[in-house]
Chain A
Amino acid sequence: MNSTTMPMTAHAAQAAARVERLLAHPRVADWVLLKGLGRLLVNHEPSAVASLRTSLLKMGASSLPAAALPAMAKVLTVTRRMHEGALSAAREGRPVAWITWPVPAAVVAAFPVLVYCPENFYSVANASGGDGSTRLCELADRHGVPTDICSINRCMLGAFLGDELPPPQLCITANHPCDGNHAGNTILRELAPCPHFSMGAAYDRSPQSVATWARSVWEMIAFLETQLQQPIDWLAVERHARLINRLNKALNHVTELHRNAPAPRLINALAVFWRMVAAAAWEPELADGAELLEEAAVSLVERARRKKAPREPLRVVLGDQAITWTDFSAWIWEEYSGSVVSDYIGHFCHPPIDTSSKESMIEGLVLDRLHMSMIRQSHGTMEYTLDELTTALSEYDADCVLFHGNVGCKHNLALRREIEALCRSIGIPALFLDADIVDRRLIGEQALRQKIKKFLADEGLPR
């Protein structure tokens, strides 16, 4: 396999490199990317820059404060390196270990393998145009991948079938938190046969569950040691854990700072971090970037306070997994001067990892993963989701909450009534969009925006 069989990855790597270069000059980048293109692309999709559009919107486009650019540059470095690593590993046949989101990847990364997270591929695909992930879903459909599976996983399978993934030497999956992962992994294992380790699933975050998971991780370490014929590098694990602690501390703080009115509008930046945290949380640049972001957030809040800036006319909470092929925050900013103050994905509330012993580190890394967005809300009883939503709605001074309502996400679909009742009791209006978060064939961007517009008008928002 060579790099020409991974056109989407190659494209994403190039694009990341280009933007990274631009970000070296934050001021220019601010004008060109955020204020220029960013504003233009909110409402238009000219084919010449279509491939940039989704990535830019996901970053927040014109709603992203320029102060965040240095941090974004760091994330981009990690992103580019990940793409390039995948390309070169595929080219040179270096060992690759596939992981899925809930696997404490920092432990795997303490072995000499390239850690790769195929579940993230939707974002790679969308870097080559807003319909990249949709095309992969189509490809998966063509190969008979059942449509009952959540499209994030169908997209991952499409990527495999389209030869977009570096071939794995090992595969470590956790059938957690949802049927989508479970089903996607089942098929992936069949299509890409290689030694495989499955972590099972703990249902909640009780001490027993965490202990169970930790035990699985120990088993995983043993598995990796036999497979790679190499002992785990505990120093690396510790280094990773410390870096993750730095990262989490900063990003938790950035999340919290959005309680301020006006909010620093860095939710999108957080979501961008999330994607890399899923795949490469232990990279030093990521921790550096997180701290830069924290700095930016603090100064933004400070400046707003100094200037006595008024509260935004509209504060929006995104209550579930955001659509991957477009983003609304720039549009909300342009259209209503509103900001997104809390998001299901860009919400960091990770506990610190205790690095004092191997055991405590493993437990800490497990708990860290269980606190990762998407995983955090998808396990446990409905209270896990409802409590978090209650916090977001009541403490972040929200005006309304939008749910993208991923059609393939069955456990969230079953919560809809309770969520509606909760919003009603708190007195915050909620909108369900019924979109597919990866496959844009179901309902398009314009229709979604129209829905939001109408909803806001009905509710008399912005105030």
Chain B
Amino acid sequence: MIDVVCDAGARYVKLALARPGETVRVLSAHAQDAVDLSLFAQRALSALNPGRLEAVRFYRLEEDLAERPSLLARVRAVSPLRRWAPMQQLESKAVWLKCLSLLDQEALLLDAGALRCRVFERLQGGTKLRVVENERCTAGGGRFVELMTQTLGVGLEDLDLTVSAATKPALLSSPCPVFAESEVVSLLNAGSQREDVLAGVVNDVVDKLLALLGRAQLGQRPVYLVGGLGRWQCIRSRLEQQGIRLLEELLDPLFVPCVAGLMQVQQRRQWARIEV
């Protein structure tokens, strides 16, 4: 039997799949290239060489963004996988609680994705989940960083390197990432360095995360950072500079939610090893 857990985010679709007890394979794709989740899952599956009669369970992390899927979409969603079972929604609460319970101390979970950033907290011995989410027009997540790196002609991979070279981070305060593009162009024209502008962008994003943590009344607790933003060292170190205690990464932060989903589905007790 194979379990597939899919986390369809605003920018990336992330997938974790494994047979019980085995190493977990993870995989991601641009959201616009993987609109049909089941098709994407099917492609990923073939890498595991499923047996002809091997059962496959397909889960999707429940997202509150999802509206009622249309009739056709519902038919479509199941049809490519019809040999197996239909796609099931995986209750996100259970997944986040699982995630929190897998940490060996009481920490807050900060999920910083492309548009949405959320803080999760476990209450009452793990039966309740409290979520604090950013406001809608503070689109200061990963998408902002992505757009800026594009504008500045810096590869996403080089972000950490570039930011670490900054000497005097620029001050940006345009709340709108798209419009900030032209602000950035004029900053460059005025002689600012690319590094400094990017560092400014990172500071901006971290500021918004800090505001969120402030609203969640972090106090002295440590934070486990997951989601795409957690991949970048510059974000992590800036958070730490601001006095946030970050827990060590256990696996690629981008995949934590879907891997946790898999752990939940397969009732595993600890983080599995992952393989990209």
Kindly name the residue among B91, B127, B215, B216 whose own CB sees the greatest number of chain A CB atoms within 10 A: B215
In the bound complex, residues from chain B placing their C-beta under 8 Å from that of A458 are 92-93, 96, 128-131
Q: A434 contacts the other chain (Cβ, under 8 Å)?
A: yes
Q: B133 contacts the other chain (Cβ, under 8 Å)?
A: yes
A454 to B130, CA, bound (A): 11
A405 to B138, CA, bound (A): 14
A429 to B137, CA, bound (A): 23
Chain B interface helix/strand/loop/mixed: loop
In the bound complex, residues from chain B placing their C-beta under 8 Å from that of A413 are 135
The 3 residue pairs across chains A and B that have the minimum distance between CB atoms: A446-B67, A458-B129, A458-B93
A420 touches B132 (CB 8 A): yes
A454 touches B62 (CB 8 A): yes
Q: A27 contacts the other chain (Cβ, under 8 Å)?
A: no
Q: B53 contacts the other chain (Cβ, under 8 Å)?
A: no
Q: A455 contacts the other chain (Cβ, under 8 Å)?
A: yes
Cβ contact of B64, chosen from A407, A416, A421, A450, cutoff 8 A: A450
**Smallest CB gap from A434: residue in B:** B136
Chain A interface helix/strand/loop/mixed: helix
Instruction: Give chain A nearest CB distance to B26 CB in angstroms.
Output: 24
In the bound complex, residues from chain A placing their C-beta under 8 Å from that of B128 are 429, 458-460
Residues of chain A having any CB pair with chain B under 8 Å: 405, 407, 413, 416-417, 420-421, 424, 429, 432, 434, 442-444, 446-447, 450-451, 453-455, 457-460
A420 touches B66 (CB 8 A): no
In the bound complex, residues from chain B placing their C-beta under 8 Å from that of A432 are 133, 135
> What are 26 A-B pairs with beta-carbon distances under 8 A?
A407-B136, A407-B137, A413-B135, A416-B215, A421-B217, A424-B130, A424-B217, A429-B130, A432-B133, A434-B135, A434-B136, A443-B136, A444-B67, A446-B67, A447-B67, A450-B64, A450-B65, A451-B64, A454-B93, A455-B131, A457-B92, A458-B92, A458-B128, A458-B129, A459-B130, A460-B128
**Smallest CB gap from B62: residue in A:** A454
Q: B214 contacts the other chain (Cβ, under 8 Å)?
A: yes
A310 to B170, CA, bound (A): 60
B93 touches A450 (CB 8 A): no
A450 to B89, CA, bound (A): 13
Kindly name the residue among A442, A443, A457 whose own CB sees the greatest number of chain B CB atoms within 10 A: A457
In the bound complex, residues from chain A placing their C-beta under 8 Å from that of B91 are 457
Q: B269 contacts the other chain (Cβ, under 8 Å)?
A: no
A289 to B129, CA, bound (A): 43
Q: B68 contacts the other chain (Cβ, under 8 Å)?
A: yes
13 more contacts with CB within 8 A, not counting A417-B215, A429-B130, A458-B131, are: A413-B135, A417-B214, A429-B128, A434-B135, A442-B136, A443-B136, A447-B65, A451-B64, A453-B64, A454-B62, A458-B129, A460-B127, A460-B128
Instruction: Give chain A nearest CB distance to B208 CB in angstroms.
Output: 14
In the bound complex, residues from chain A placing their C-beta under 8 Å from that of B127 are 460
B64 touches A447 (CB 8 A): yes
Instruction: Give chain B nearest CB distance to A414 CB in angstroms.
Output: 12
A432 to B132, CA, bound (A): 9
Instruction: Give chain A nearest CB distance to B113 CB in angstroms.
Output: 16
Kindly name the residue among B91, B92, B130 whose own CB sees the greatest number of chain A CB atoms within 10 A: B130
In the bound complex, residues from chain B placing their C-beta under 8 Å from that of A407 are 135-137
A453 to B137, CA, bound (A): 22
In the bound complex, residues from chain B placing their C-beta under 8 Å from that of A434 are 135-136
**Smallest CB gap from B66: residue in A:** A450
In the bound complex, residues from chain B placing their C-beta under 8 Å from that of A446 are 67-68
A417 to B66, CA, bound (A): 27
Residues of chain B having any CB pair with chain A under 8 Å: 62, 64-68, 91-93, 96, 127-133, 135-137, 214-217
Kindly name the residue among B64, B92, B127, B216 whose own CB sees the greatest number of chain A CB atoms within 10 A: B64
Instruction: Give chain A nearest CB distance to B125 CB in angstroms.
Output: 12
Instruction: Give chain A nearest CB distance to B199 CB in angstroms.
Output: 27
A432 to B62, CA, bound (A): 19
Instruction: Give chain A nearest CB distance to B232 CB in angstroms.
Output: 26
In the bound complex, residues from chain B placing their C-beta under 8 Å from that of A453 are 64
**Smallest CB gap from A431: residue in B:** B131
Instruction: Give chain B nearest CB distance to A3 CB in angstroms.
Output: 38
In the bound complex, residues from chain B placing their C-beta under 8 Å from that of A444 are 67
In the bound complex, residues from chain A placing their C-beta under 8 Å from that of B65 are 447, 450
In the bound complex, residues from chain B placing their C-beta under 8 Å from that of A443 are 136
B215 touches A420 (CB 8 A): yes
In the bound complex, residues from chain A placing their C-beta under 8 Å from that of B66 are 450
A457 touches B64 (CB 8 A): no
A401 to B9, CA, bound (A): 27
In the bound complex, residues from chain A placing their C-beta under 8 Å from that of B216 are 420
Kindly name the residue among A429, A444, A454 whose own CB sees the greatest number of chain B CB atoms within 10 A: A454
A451 to B65, CA, bound (A): 8
A458 to B136, CA, bound (A): 20
In the bound complex, residues from chain A placing their C-beta under 8 Å from that of B93 are 454, 457-458
A144 to B128, CA, bound (A): 46
**Smallest CB gap from B133: residue in A:** A432
In the bound complex, residues from chain A placing their C-beta under 8 Å from that of B130 are 424, 429, 458-459
B132 touches A450 (CB 8 A): no
A454 to B137, CA, bound (A): 21
Instruction: Give chain B nearest CB distance to A215 CB in angstroms.
Output: 40
A111 to B1, CA, bound (A): 80
In the bound complex, residues from chain B placing their C-beta under 8 Å from that of A416 are 215
